[in-house]
């Protein structure tokens, strides 16, 4: 949205012990440069979880992490998110790490790993990114 403000959306669909599980996240974040190649990131999001046969719940997420560059084409990230889906035990911590390879200054693809603590769920996903602003 601006030099330091960004938006994001994530969707995941998986099978957990024979039960379908969908996770959706939509939010905005901000990054603070710590050095020319490293940023502190933060974000707030709307979170939705849908469990096959049990319905769905919505809530919020709060995230913090680090994002850095290793050369012109490789970006790495890692962080932690608190997700609250409402209800008594409807919250979880999510630990994540990943990387992106920039094929052009604006287009990247990457792999992300996430570990949901209470759900005992680990995910690996493929991601695509398009940066609307110019990268330097």
What pLDDT, in 10s, does the model give residues 53-67? 888 888 999 999 999
pLDDT classification of 134: cutoffs 50, 70, 90: low
Q: How high is the pLDDT of residue 88?
A: 61
Which pTM was predicted? 0.82
Is residue 86 predicted with pLDDT exceeding 50? yes
Averaged pLDDT for residues 38-64: 92
Q: How high is the pLDDT of residue 96?
A: 96
CB-based contact 51:21 (threshold 8 Å): yes
Min mean pLDDT across 13-17, 29-33, 103-107 is at 13-17
Is residue 24 predicted with pLDDT exceeding 80? yes
Q: How high is the pLDDT of residue 103?
A: 96
Rounded to an integer, what distance in angstroms lies between the CA atom of residue 41 and that of residue 31? 4
Is residue 136 predicted with pLDDT exceeding 50? no
């Amino acid at each position: 949205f601006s030099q330091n403000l960004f938006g994001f959306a994530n969707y995941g669909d998986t099978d957990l012990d024979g039960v379908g599980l969908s996770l959706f996240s939509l939010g905005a974040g901000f990054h603070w440069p710590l050095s020319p190649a490293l940023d502190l990131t933060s974000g707030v999001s709307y979170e939705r979880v849908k469990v096959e046969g049990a319905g769905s719940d919505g809530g919020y997420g709060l995230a913090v992490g680090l994002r850095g560059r290793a050369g012109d084409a490789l970006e790495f990230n890692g962080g932690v998110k608190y997700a609250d889906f409402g209800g008594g035990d409807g919250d979880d911590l999510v630990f994540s790490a990943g990387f992106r390879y920039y094929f052009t200054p604006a287009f990247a693809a990457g792999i992300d790993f996430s570990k949901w603590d209470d759900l005992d769920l680990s995910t690996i996903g493929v991601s695509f990114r398009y940066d609307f602003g110019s990268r330097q």
